[in-house]
């Protein structure tokens, strides 16, 4: 199963932090990332978040629930990401571009939106005027289209984006590359019949079986084998070892038993499954820890609160201020 974390945030707009010397600090009016970018910006971001989250839910209710819990949380977080991108000093983002993207989101093919591949041209990330080495808040400020970030730090600097095979940058890569949760390196998805491993992940609907990408089963009650392609989780299915067929995937809340439940895989809603029990990711404003956990939910980063520490709070990238 492919990692389901960073790719969506990258496709929507990966963020970092803002320099004070390129036009003034960001002023937030709320914890959800709403800014002083203006009513027009807020409306445009709301429309884009609605279009994206609605299309993702249409394509896979499992993807929405697994990553965000519900559509409303998806809209709140991605609207905050968008607002901060528009409010950042020297940003290349514009209200017109956000509005055009909102109109194009419904055309994003399901197999692509689930893993943030083949982004609609109107949603291509704009670049900005800042040269490499300049402090930044968001990718859209940088000539390279990449604001490099160190884990736990609110501020970043414009830099070349990680290339294929290079280590992920704080768990992220520039689309269409994705960060492998196994190797923590950037790579491109492999199509059906292509060679795969932990660093070269299979494209949507495919599973790596004996080093080759194969299509998963997308219909309930069809035969499956645990050693084969299995069942497509984003079709809401899991392979039941007792019946040998695809059954409804179980999505569990924090504190519930996970892993293998009732003879089939069971996943956690907005969380991970250490030691057989779901641990929920931190929501916006929740406590987090880079070492001890919990990690933060989709579209959020754990920003440490003291130099040399590992504990902090879950924030939308770019919501802090830089020296």
Whether the link from the prior residue into 294 is cis, omega within 30° of 0, is yes
Residue 190 lies in a domain: no
Are 126 and 270 contained in the same domain? no
Residue 191 lies in a domain: no
CA distance 55 to 104: 11
Instruction: Give the predicted TM-score (pTM) of the model.
Output: 0.82
Are 87 and 143 contained in the same domain? yes
CA distance 286 to 27: 21
Residue 295 lies in a domain: yes
Are 58 and 91 contained in the same domain? yes
Residue among 86, 95, 63, 62 at smallest CA distance from 13: 86
Residue 13 lies in a domain: yes
Structure tokens at 291: 């070492």
Are 252 and 307 contained in the same domain? no
Residue 144 lies in a domain: yes
Query: For residues 218 and 205, is the Cβ–Cβ distance under 8 A?
Result: yes
Mark which of 127, 145, 163 sits at the end of a domain. Answer: 163
Mark which of 119, 148, 163 sits at the end of a domain. Answer: 163
Each residue's pLDDT tens digit, 283-294 = 999 999 999 989
pLDDT tens for the chain, 323 residues long, are 333 333 343 344 432 332 322 333 223 334 344 444 457 999 999 999 999 999 999 999 999 999 999 999 999 999 999 999 999 999 999 999 999 999 999 999 998 898 888 899 999 989 999 999 999 988 999 999 999 988 888 888 999 999 989 999 888 888 888 888 788 899 888 888 999 888 888 886 688 888 999 888 889 999 987 677 788 889 999 999 999 999 999 999 999 999 999 999 999 999 999 989 999 999 999 999 999 989 999 889 999 988 888 999 999 877 765 55
Helices (H) and strands (E) in the chain, counts: 6, 17
Are 221 and 92 contained in the same domain? no
Number of domains in the chain: 3
Each residue's pLDDT tens digit, 42-55 = 999 999 999 999 99
* Domain of 293, in residue numbers: 283-315
Are 271 and 289 contained in the same domain? no
Cα torsion 125, 65, 272, 198: sign: negative
What are the φ and ψ backbone dihedral angles of 256, each rounded to 5 degrees? -85, 155
Residue 69 lies in a domain: yes
Residue 181 lies in a domain: no
Count of alpha carbons within 13 angstroms of residue 66, beta-carbon side: 23
Are 237 and 296 contained in the same domain? no
Q: Which residues, in sequence order, are CB contacts of 228 under 8 Å at separation 6+?
A: 207, 209, 214
Residue 91 lies in a domain: yes
CA distance 123 to 226: 38
Going by their DSSP bridges, the two strands 311-315 and 301-304 should be labelled as antiparallel
CA distance 2 to 15: 23
């Amino acid at each position: 199963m492919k990692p389901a974390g960073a790719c969506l945030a990258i496709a929507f707009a990966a963020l970092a932090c803002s320099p004070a010397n390129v036009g003034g600090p960001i002023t937030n009016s709320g914890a959800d990332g709403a800014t002083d970018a203006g009513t027009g910006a807020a409306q445009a971001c709301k429309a884009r978040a609605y279009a994206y989250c609605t299309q993702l839910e249409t394509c896979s209710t499992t993807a929405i629930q697994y990553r965000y819990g519900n559509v409303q949380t998806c809209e709140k977080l991605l609207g905050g990401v968008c607002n901060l991108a528009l409010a950042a000093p020297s940003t290349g983002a514009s209200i017109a571009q956000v509005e055009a993207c909102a109109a194009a989101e419904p055309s994003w093919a399901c197999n692509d939106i689930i893993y943030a591949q083949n982004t609609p041209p109107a949603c291509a990330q704009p670049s900005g005027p800042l040269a490499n080495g300049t402090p930044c808040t968001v990718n859209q400020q940088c000539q390279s289209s990449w604001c490099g970030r160190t884990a736990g730090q609110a501020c970043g600097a414009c830099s070349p984006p990680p290339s294929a095979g290079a280590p992920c940058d704080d768990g992220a890569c520039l689309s269409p590359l994705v960060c492998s949760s196994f190797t923590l390196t950037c790579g491109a998805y492999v199509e059906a019949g292509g060679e795969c491993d932990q660093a070269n992940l299979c494209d949507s609907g495919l599973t790596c079986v004996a080093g080759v990408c194969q299509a998963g089963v997308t219909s309930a009650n069809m035969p499956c084998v645990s050693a084969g392609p299995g069942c497509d989780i984003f079709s809401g299915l899991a392979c039941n070892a007792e019946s040998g067929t695809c059954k409804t995937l179980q999505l569990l809340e924090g504190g519930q038993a996970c892993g293998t439940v009732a003879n089939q895989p069971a996943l956690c809603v907005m969380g991970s499954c250490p030691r057989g029990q779901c641990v929920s990711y931190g929501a916006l404003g929740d406590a987090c820890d880079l070492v001890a956990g919990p990690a933060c939910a989709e579209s959020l980063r754990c920003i440490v609160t003291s130099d040399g520490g590992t504990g902090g709070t879950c924030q939308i990238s770019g919501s802090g201020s830089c020296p």
